[in-house]
Amino acid sequence: MTEPVTDPKKIVWLASYPKSGNTWFRAFLTALLGDGDLNINEMKTDGIFSSRAIFDNCTDMDSTELYDKEVKNLLPEVFRHQAELYKKDKLFVKIHDAYTLNSNGVPIVPEEPTFCALYFIRNPLDVVGSFANHNGSTLDEAITLMNNPRGTLAKQPKNRNVNNQFAQLMLSWSGHASSWIAALPFPVLVIRYEDMLADTFNTFSRAVEFMKIDVPASQIERAIEETKFEKLQKLENETGFQEKNRRSEKFFRKGVAGNWIDELSPEQIKLIIDNHADVMKQYNYPVDVITNAGSN
C-alpha cells in the first residue's frame, strides 16, 4: 500500500468554461515539466475532475450504479484521497464544472487538498464558434447552452453515469466565471485567453510563479515555443487528438482572438451581450460593438 505524503495540499485546479485556453495551457505544462517534450495524447497533467475512471479506481465502486447526486457527494473525498495518495509535489487537475455545492451543501471542489486554481477566461463572443465546432453543433445551439443558467456538459441519460465522464454542471458562461472568480477558500489566478495570445511569456510566467514552480525563464520560453498553436495543429494532424469530440472535424481550430466579428450575426452578438455584459465588462471584453458585425 502506498504511504500517504505528509502535506496533501497540492491540487492545482485548471478551471475554465470549455474552449478558453485550458488545453493549450496543459500542453504548455506538459512541455514545461517534460523538458520540452510534448505528446498531446499523453499530457503530463492529472486528468479531469469529471473522470469516471478516477472515481471508480479510488472508490472501488461502479459509478454506473450511482445517480449523479451521489457521485457529486463523494467527489470531494475522492480528490482528498488523490492528494494523499500521490507523492508528486503537485497534481494538475482540469475542471469544467462550475464551483457549486453538492446536495449535502458541500463545495464539490474540496478546500483541504487544494493548493490554488487557475481560471482561464475568454471573450464569450469568441467562445461561441469554438464551442460549436467542438460539440459539432450550430452557433445558435452553442449560444443557447452558454446562456442556460443550468447549462450542463456531458449530460447522462436518465441521470445515470454511462459515459467516460460525469455530467458537468457549468451554469451559464457568466455564472461559471462568477462561481470561480468569487472569494473562494483558496487562491485563484484569473488568466485571460487574449493575454495568453498577446503577451504569452509574461502571462505564462505569472502562472508558473503563482503555482510556485521554480524553473528558469529559458525553460518557460522553450515550453512556449513547443506549444505554439501551429505546432499543436500539426501534432493533431499527424497523430490525432484523443480529446477531440467525435462530432468535431478538429480540436485545434483557429486559436485567435476577435474571430466572432466574422462568425456571428448581430442578433447572435446581442444574445451573448444581453446575458453576460456584467462579467464581460469586468474583464474588458467589448459590449458596445458595431451592430452590423457578422456575416450571417
Would you kindly state where each structural domain of the chain is located, as residue ranges?
Answer: 11-254
The helix or strand, by DSSP H or E, that contains position 12, with its residue range, turns out to be strand 11-16
**Residue 189 phi, psi dihedral angles, 5° rounding:** -110, 120
- Quick one: pLDDT at residue 80? 95
User: Distance from CA of residue 293 to its chain's centroid?
Assistant: 29
Q: What pairs with residue 13 in β-bridges?
A: 93, 117
Q: What is the pLDDT of residue 289?
A: 79
Res 252: pLDDT: 47
Reduced to 3 states, what is the DSSP secondary structure of residue 181? helix
Tell me the C-alpha distance between 260 and 11, whole Å: 34
Number of CB atoms found within 10 A of residue 136's CB = 12
Q: What pLDDT score was predicted for residue 291?
A: 47
Fold of 11-254: Rossmann fold (3.40.50)
Flag residues of the chain having pLDDT under 50.
Answer: 1-5, 243-244, 248, 252, 291-292, 294-296
Q: What is the distance between the alpha carbons of residues 123 and 121, in angstroms, rounded to a whole number?
A: 7
Q: How many helices (H) and strands (E) does the chain have?
A: 12, 6
Whether the pTM exceeds 0.75: the reply is yes
The DSSP bridge pattern shows strands 188-192 and 114-121 to be: parallel
Tell me what pLDDT residue 86 has: 84
pLDDT value of position 146: 97
- pLDDT at residue 171, rounded to an integer: 98
